Amino acid sequence: MEATWERSIHLIHENGDWMSQLPENLWDVPLHNLSLPGSHDTMTYCLDKNSDISVNESKLLQLIDKFMPCIIHPIIMKWSITQVLNVSEQLDAGIRYLDFRIAHKPNDPSVKLYFVHMVYTTAVV
């Protein structure tokens, strides 16, 4: 039997063309007057479990994570992950607003930018 969340993911893939099914009276309505489905922290499906906590988070949280990472880091990862679908899958599911939060890792000598939500992603901008 298929898991419930897997079934849900399968079903949402059927919504990718929802905008083509809008009633005719909405065809000329500007996008800023429509409510568009979006994803909060779009890139959190690929958070780096080995990443440091973002410097934007509280110093206390960073300090606790430094001394008790085996306790705090798993909790932070659970708080941080808001998406399980990648960007393509989100678009196929009908999402039309993407929330990208981008940051540079402070101790990273490269000029790479990463997506971030409490911790950094494995994906580079």
Catalytic site positions = 40, 117
In whole angstroms, what is the distance from residue 87 CA to residue 125 CA? 13
In whole angstroms, what is the distance from residue 18 CA to residue 37 CA? 10
> Residue with structure tokens 């994906």?
123
Cα–Cα distances in angstroms (integers) from residue 30 to residues 21, 26, 44, 51, in the given order: 16, 9, 30, 41
